[in-house]
Amino acid sequence: MQHRRRWCRLRREADGRVALTLRDFGPGVSDEQLQRLSEPFYRTDSARVRATGGVGLGLYLCRLVAQAHGGELRLRRAEPGLEASALLVSG
């Protein structure tokens, strides 16, 4: 069964940064995979092929955009699923 539930949240952090957080409730990733998710061309499922979607650049590009705006990308296991937060400098 596929899980398609997810949410998005925008909030101001105590340090003044703005956090855009996305959460899904899918099968998640292992600790080892989590460490590599924002590497270019990294894909958690080696069985995936281009025809099924993705080349492994999405989270890498998210990290680069966040850094270009003085921020950072944080990823964490959410049990179930994954949570990704882009923390950006406000104003």
25-36 pLDDT per residue, tens: 988 899 999 999
Class of residue 3 by CB neighbours under 10 A (exposed 0-12, middle 13-18, buried 19+): exposed
Q: What is the DSSP string of the chain?
A: -----EEEEEEE-TTS-EEEEEEE-SS---HHHHHHTTSTT--S-TT--GGGS--S-HHHHHHHHHHHTT-EEEEEE-SSSEEEEEEE---
pLDDT in the model for residue 64: 97
Q: What is the pLDDT of residue 49?
A: 62
**The pLDDT value given to residue 56:** 87
pLDDT at position 1 is 42
* pLDDT 10s digits, 34-88: 999 999 999 887 656 666 677 889 999 999 999 999 999 999 999 889 999 999 9
Question: What pLDDT is attached to residue 2?
Answer: 52
In angstroms, the CA 45 to CA 31 distance is 14
Look at residue 51 in the predicted model and tell me its pLDDT: 65
At residue 46, the pLDDT reads: 61
